[in-house]
Structure 1
Amino acid sequence: MSSKINIKEIVLGHFGTLGDVDGGWSWLDFVTFCCVPVLFGFLSIASGFLLTKDISSLLVNFGAIFTALLLSVLVLVYDQESKLDERRQRDIDLKRPVDSLYPAKKKLLDELYYNISFSILSSLVLIAICFAFSVADSFIVDKTKTSFSLVLSKLFFTPIAVVVCVNLLLTIVMIVKRLHSLLRMK
């Protein structure tokens, strides 16, 4: 795969942020961000929930809006990191005490980069899933009969869209919480 579109670092970086404050592995974070979305995916199959064109359109809008908003937040995080580094360098140059929270803030900003980037990618994946669903749905001629595309939609597109959507929502909540913590640090 071309290095220009290789997202491995972003995905691994995001999952690397799912841990305790001390840097240790957190099973609760793993369950929250991996198992809960998959559980919702299985529940969508079990309940007979089916992705429709209206829901697909809503998810595309959701993904597109959050992609734009998250790109803006990514710029905000970059700006905050630049200011943090400038403030630290100024304190060092003026031989003033350096902010004791600098390492924690820096780590939080780095984690936010990964989380926001992962959310942007998730939004793009959600849009791609809805596009693929729309293409598959266009092949359904008679919706009363069980066709290959209907089964594909019910057993593949719907649960995958649910998993990505739930994971995206949880990650956005985490981003908001981390931004809140960052902006509250004095």
Structure 2
Amino acid sequence: MSSKVNIKDIIYGHLATMSKVDGGWSWYDFLTFCFVPVAFSTASIIMGFSLNKDVSSLLVNFGAIFTALLLSVLVLVYDQESKLDERYQRDAELKRPIDEFYSAKKKLLDELYYNISFSILSSLALIATCFAFSMADSFVEPKASSLSLPIILSKLVFTPIAVFVTVNLLLTIVMIVKRLHSLLRPK
């Protein structure tokens, strides 16, 4: 795969943020960000839910809007990191006390970078899933049986993937908002 589209570093970086403050692996984070979306996806299959054009359109709009918003938040994170580094260097040059929370803030900004980048990729995956659903849905004939390949793909492939990505994206966005709140709130 071309290094220009290789996203494994972003995915690994995002997974690495699922850790405790002391650096150990957090099973609660893993359960929250993996098991909960899988549970919703499984429930969508059991309940027979299937994407339709309206829901697919809504998810595409959701993904597109959040991609744009998250790109602007990524710029904010970069700006905050630059300001933090400048303040650290200025304090070091002037022999002033260094912010005792510098390393914690720096780590939080790095994790935010990976979380936001992962959310942008998730939004793009959601849009691609809805596009694939629309392509498969265009092959469904009006009087097709419930066992036609496009309907099976919709119910057993595209719908669970869309549900998984949507739930995971929502949880990740909540995590990003919480981290931004912690970082930017007035003290």
Smaller-chain TM-score bracket: over 0.9
For 2:101, the equivalent position in structure 1 comes to: 101
Residue deviations 1:2-52, cap 9 Å, x none? 000000000010010011111110100000001110110000000111100
Runs of 4 or more consecutive aligned structure 1 residues displaced over 3 Å after TM superposition: none
Counterpart in 1 of 2:160? 159
| TM-score, reference length from structure 1 | 0.98
Counterpart in 1 of 2:177? 176
SS at structure 2 position matched to 1:178: helix
TM-score by length of structure 2 reads 0.98
Q: Which runs of 5+ in 2 are unaligned?
A: none
| Aligned alpha-carbon RMSD (Å) | 0.9
Question: 1:48: which partner in 2?
Answer: 48
- The offset of 1:143, in angstroms, is 4.8
Change (3 A) 1:143 1:184: farther
SS of residue matched to 1:13:
helix
What does residue range 112-123 of structure 1 map to in structure 2 within 5 Å?
112-123=112-123
Provide the residue aligned with 1:64 in structure 2: 64
* DSSP-derived class of the 1:4 partner: coil
Deviates more, 1:15-24 or 1:162-171: 15-24
Quote the Cα distance in structure 2 between the aligned partners of 1:86 and 1:3: 31
Aligned match of 1:141: 141
- Counting only pairs closer than 5 Å after superposition, residues 72-91 of structure 1 correspond to structure 2 as 72-91=72-91
Q: Does 1:29 align with 2:5?
A: no
Instruction: Determine what percentage of the aligned residue pairs are the same residue.
Output: 76
Deviation string, structure 1 residues 106-144 (Cα, Å, up to 9, x no partner): 000000000000000000000000000000000001355
Question: Alpha carbons of 1:37 and 1:143: their partners in 2 closer, same or farther (altered >3 Å)?
Answer: farther
> How many angstroms does 1:145 deviate by?
1.2
Once the two structures are TM-superposed, the CA of residue 184 in structure 1 deviates from its matched residue by 2.7
SS at match of 2:21: coil
